[in-house]
Structure 1
Amino acid sequence: MTPHGLRHTHATILLNKKTSIVTVAKRLGNTPEEIYKTYGHTDEQADKQASLAFSSEMSI
């Protein structure tokens, strides 16, 4: 794995574990905006899961 690949994996794992974007940005030396631009797809997946969880509860 390249250093860049390790960096990407590190950020993705942290975001999937619900670590705040601000914290990930500080760890990687970026701004939160840069992290969101690069890893925003991770947040979109979490949003889809949240939507499904809410829909499931509302259909009871």
Structure 2
Amino acid sequence: MPKLVELTLSQIIAGLRKGVFSSRELTQAFLARIDRLESQLHAYITLTPALALAQAEHAD
């Protein structure tokens, strides 16, 4: 299976519905990617990882 951050939206939806991974795991994967790349891309003004993780847990 590809890395979570490489999945298509259809694959993400299917994976969440089947319980292959959780919203929290998905969010953690994207936050890790942002952490790795943000110093090069400067794509975000404000990051709120704690809020993102709390919302992901609520979605699960």
TM-score by length of 1: 0.39
Q: Which has the higher helix share?
A: 1
User: Which structure would you say has the larger Rg?
Assistant: 1
Compare relative contact order (CA 8 Å, sep 6+) and give the higher one, 1 or 2.
2
